Amino acid sequence: LIFTGAIPALINLLKYPKIKLQCKTVGLLSNISTHVSVVHALVEGGGIPALINLLGSDEPELHSRCAVILYDIAMNENKDVIAQYNGIPALINLLNLDMESVLVNVMNCIRVLCMGNEGNQRAMVDHNGIQYLIRFLSSDSDILKAVSSATIAEVGRDNRDVQDAIAMEGAIPPLVDLFKGKQLSVQVKGAMAVESLANYNPLIQKAFLKRNLTKDLLKLLKIIVLAKVIIDVDHIAASARGVTILVDSLYSAHFPTIVLTGNLIASLAHCRVGIPDAFTTLGAIRRLCYHLYSGREEVRTACSCALGYLTYNAYAFRILLSECRNKPNQFLRITNNISRDAKINPAFLKEFQMQQHVGLPSLRYCAFIRNGSSEVISTCKMPLDLPLYVGINLTLNVC
């Protein structure tokens, strides 16, 4: 189609005032617009203004198909070009419609246009598009709730002014209400919006806390643990999003949030394979260690318990042992603050005590899992005059 010059011809058909012909043309284009070469041809042939012009028609099929094509075009770094032809206002006008299929495609297009694009994020505020997204949060349709939540997340992401505008429009109450429902797929998207709006925004964090956000954060536990049974949601993406939100919560200035987050991490550390690795990769170990210096006992206890359960993971075992080796008092802070009903890997205690007895200096601690088993071998680069028994074998009982 590209080499035969079909794309420019199809673009010309979009301008021909025959609804049926236009519908067939956008139907064809929507089936091939996932190809990068087709997108380039559409952009070079002036297809963007033609598609945006069709958004103002009275035909829902044209609205839906054009939104899909513009979505594909926006995915290929053409967000600003679409904005130049007033794509955002044209899409916002369609949010008045009452057809779910059209609304879903339009919101998905808006979501992609706003990804990392401050101009388009601001345009959503300037053209009064936020109110429609918030209205859909209270829709009877779970699909509209989920899609609007995901769209709000990208409209406000990393943009403090837009975050504040979304909050001023009244987004916080309906977002909190999403966690009171039973649809986990909706709650996953709701969690994305909460994370995006509250990220580095103390005022919005306080607003969520006033509505018992700490209680609603408990829903994240279900989201992560039950992610594999969520229909139509990538369980890996859902788990990753939940873990990210929890690690980010460790940076909160509100101690109740830190306490709850520590308790959630402790619970998750031994109930899902791969979750402890994710926490460790995102830096949870060092942040939990940071809170061991807190003046509040409940914060120290929650974080110590989380660290205790994480020691059953080989990766976390290595990181925390290195932390304790570099700061010997860190080990005492953990053991002195951990609650009686919490657990800490006996192998971790034994290894630290052995290394403390040997009197090794601070150094990097390495480990590997032999043949996929749970046997962890501690290894390190040592001066030649150190005792040979430093490289002791450990058996790590991973949950």
pLDDT band at 94 (very low <50, low <70, confident <90, very high): very high
Q: What's the longest Cα–Cα distance across the chain?
A: 88
CA atoms in the 13 A half-sphere facing the CB of 325 = 22
Task: Give 349: exposed, middle or buried? Use CB within 10 Å, 0-12, 13-18, 19+.
Answer: middle
Q: pLDDT by residue (tens digit) across 240-299?
A: 777 888 888 898 888 878 888 888 888 777 656 678 888 999 899 999 999 999 999 999
pLDDT of residue 389: 26
pLDDT of residue 336: 92
Least confident of 14-18, 24-28, 185-189: 185-189
104 contact partners, CB below 8 Å, separation of at least 6: 143, 144, 147
Rounded distance between C-alpha atoms, residue 309 and residue 221, angstroms = 16
Which comes out higher in pLDDT, residue 4 or 85? 85
Kindly tell me if the per-residue pLDDT of 325 is higher than 80.
yes
Beta bridge partners of 378: 367
- Could you identify the residue written with the tokens 């959503």? 124
Chain centroid to CA 207? 21
Q: Which two tokens stand for residue 99?
A: 């057809």
Rounded distance between C-alpha atoms, residue 147 and residue 149, angstroms = 5
* CA distances for 15 relative to 12, 51, 69, 246, angstroms: 5, 9, 16, 50
113 contact partners, CB below 8 Å, separation of at least 6: 70, 74, 79, 82, 83, 87, 88, 91, 120
Kindly tell me if the per-residue pLDDT of 100 is higher than 50.
yes
Q: Is residue 378 within a helix (H) or strand (E), and if so which, with residue range?
A: strand 375-379
Q: pLDDT by residue (tens digit) across 116-127?
A: 999 999 999 999
pLDDT of residue 223: 54
Kindly tell me if the per-residue pLDDT of 194 is higher than 90.
no
| Mean pLDDT, residues 288-314 | 93
65 contact partners, CB below 8 Å, separation of at least 6: 23, 26, 27, 29, 30
pLDDT of residue 369: 37
Kindly tell me if the per-residue pLDDT of 80 is higher than 80.
yes
Kindly tell me if the per-residue pLDDT of 360 is higher than 90.
no
Q: What letter would DSSP give residue 197?
A: H
Q: Which two tokens stand for residue 41?
A: 């041809």
Kindly tell me if the per-residue pLDDT of 145 is higher than 80.
yes
Kindly tell me if the per-residue pLDDT of 398 is higher than 50.
no
* CA distances for 345 relative to 312, 350, 379, angstroms: 6, 9, 19
pLDDT band at 32 (very low <50, low <70, confident <90, very high): very high
Beta bridge partners of 368: 377
Q: What letter would DSSP give residue 176?
A: H
Q: pLDDT by residue (tens digit) across 379-390?
A: 333 332 323 223
Percentage of the chain modeled with pLDDT above 70:
80
